[in-house]
Amino acid sequence: MPASAPPSPLPPLTTVFVYGTLMPGERNADVAGPPGSFRARKAMLDGHRLLHLVPEQYPAALVGQPGDVIHGHALTYTPQDWAAALPFLDDLEGVDETPPLYHRVAVRLRLEDGGELDAWVYLYAQQERLTRPGVLPLPGGDWRAAPGRDRPRPGDR
């Protein structure tokens, strides 16, 4: 019996789901890259919940329960533009800090047009912070509804 061919490698993910300061029109949108370097589509991340951290004034996404949803945007890059944007995204999200602020993980998104898409998302990594005051649940899963989200402190993310 001939040996079967090894499975084809999956293409690298070049889409990131953004749900807070990186969304189009928000204060860190420029970190995602210049206009035209990605395609932005409205999307939802099911089974995850969203928190607003105060005084930090940025969101924290966590694995949630069935029925939880986060609203945001899927930013899809060309492979070349993804390679250029990823270091800036990881830096803003503190992926390489000790301890890390966020972890980048692969998820499946639901697009506004009904389709689905695999993407990266940054999930909040500092569980100890969530035990202190200033953690506001956002039941609708939309960070744009967070009070004071547009007033970052100087030097904040």
What distances in angstroms separate CA 112 from CA 11, 14, 26, 73, 79, one per listed residue?
Answer: 23, 19, 20, 9, 23
Q: Does pLDDT of 8 surpass 50?
A: no
What pLDDT shows up at residue 150? 74
What percent of the chain lies above the pLDDT cut of 90?
A: 76
What pLDDT shows up at residue 9? 47
Q: Does pLDDT of 72 surpass 90?
A: yes
Q: In this structure, how many other beta carbons lie within 10 angstroms of the beta carbon of residue 86? A: 17
What pLDDT shows up at residue 149? 79
pLDDT digits (tens, 9 = 90+) for 98-131: 999 999 999 999 999 999 999 999 999 999 999 9
What pLDDT shows up at residue 34? 83
* SS3 state of residue 84: helix
**Nearest alpha-carbon partner for 118 in 76, 59, 62, 70:** 76
Q: Does pLDDT of 10 surpass 50?
A: no
Q: Supply the DSSP string of 96-156, one letter for each residue.
A: TSSS-SEEEEEEEEEETTS-EEEEEEEEE--GGGGGSS-EEE-TT--GGGSTTTT-PPTT-
What distances in angstroms separate CA 69 from CA 104, 114, 139, 144, one per listed residue?
Answer: 18, 15, 9, 14
Q: What does the mean pLDDT of the chain come to?
A: 89
